Amino acid sequence: MSARSDTLLWIAQRASAALLALCVTVHLFTIVYAVRGGLSAAEIFARTRGSAGWFAFYTVFVIAVAVHAPIGLRPVLTEWLGWRGRTREWFVAAFGVLLAWLGMRAVLTVFG
**Contact footprint for another protein (CB under 8 A):** 1-4, 6-8, 10-11, 74-75, 78-80, 84
Rank residues 83 and 95 by Cβ distance to another protein and give the closer one. Answer: 83
Rank residues 24 and 76 by Cβ distance to another protein and give the closer one. Answer: 76
Rank residues 63 and 71 by Cβ distance to another protein and give the closer one. Answer: 71
Shortest approach of another protein to residue 15 CB, angstroms?
A: 11
Rank residues 47 and 88 by Cβ distance to another protein and give the closer one. Answer: 88
Helices (H) and strands (E) in the chain, counts: 4, 0
Shortest approach of another protein to residue 21 CB, angstroms?
A: 17
Q: How many CA atoms lie within 13 A of 32 on its CB side?
A: 6
Q: Which of 58, 70, 66 is nearest to 101 (CA)?
A: 66
What's the rounded Cα separation, in Å, for the pair 8 and 47? 38
Shortest approach of another protein to residue 19 CB, angstroms?
A: 17
Q: Give the start-end residues of each E strand in the chain.
A: none
Shortest approach of another protein to residue 7 CB, angstroms?
A: 4
Sign of CA dihedral 9, 102, 17, 72: negative
